[in-house]
Amino acid sequence: MEIHLIETKYDWETQSIAEFLNEGNIPSGWFDFFNSETIREILGKVSNELEKKKDCKIFYPDLNQVFRAFYITPLENVKAVIIGMDPYHNGNAVGLCFSVKSGKSINPSLRSIYKELKMEGFNPKENGNLIHWANQGVLMLNMSLSVEKGKAGSHSKIWKKFSEEVVKYLDKNRGEDIHWILMGNDACKIKNLINKGVVHTTVHPMPLAEYKSSKIAEAFWGSGVFSRVKSIKW
């Protein structure tokens, strides 16, 4: 179920990640994970590092959407996991990887996803909103859950440990039932943390890269990756 945290006090200028979570905004469907000592410690460090960086800078997505994927898709509902690189750094990020704000232009990587979906025989609504995937049990994450305006990858090191712990927790608690769709080299590097389920690796669906394969991932264009996950109506 979608959780709406629209209070104006939840913004990067006035609050930190730690303060936001301490106000009771922990995803209920992930309570044990977020309240574990390990994750509290990791997120404390994430919060501190972001606080050091945010002076006179703009971060995306909005603070109240950083953990949106966890609010919408509880652990017990997860059927598939999509992991990309980091949020859109042009202001389109909404806390679900590759999805964009309603009414905004569709980013090139999402255009590529729509092309692949149509090639696979699906008929996607090309409005940029992918929340219907999350509602069906697709946990839609990036390796980094925040980014500085105009600077791709700017927070990747800060979030790396947290993202790895998410993968290990999912693998331990839901692994047998999950299809993993890892898009891009950063995401594909965590494949060694996954012991259960079915893993699909592709290059990132950004223009030009989508046609090429790499040492650790197949080309995105023509991969048929969505057709392999039968439990989701893409």
Residues classed as catalytic: 86
Per-residue 3-state assignment (H helix, E strand, C coil) for the chain:
CCCCCCCCCCCCCCCCHHHHHHCCCCCHHHHHHHCCHHHHHHHHHHHHHHHHHCCCCCEECCHHHCCHHHHHCCHHHCCEEEEECCCCCCCCCCCCCCCCCCCCCCCHHHHHHHHHHHHCCCCCCCCCCCHHHHHCCEEEEECCCCEECCECCCCHHHHHHHHHHHHHHHHHHHHHHCEEEEECHHHHHHHHHCCCCEEEEECCCCCCHHHCCCCCCECCCCCCCCCCCCCCCC
Whether residue 81 contacts residue 180, with contact meaning beta carbons closer than 8 Å, is answered with: yes
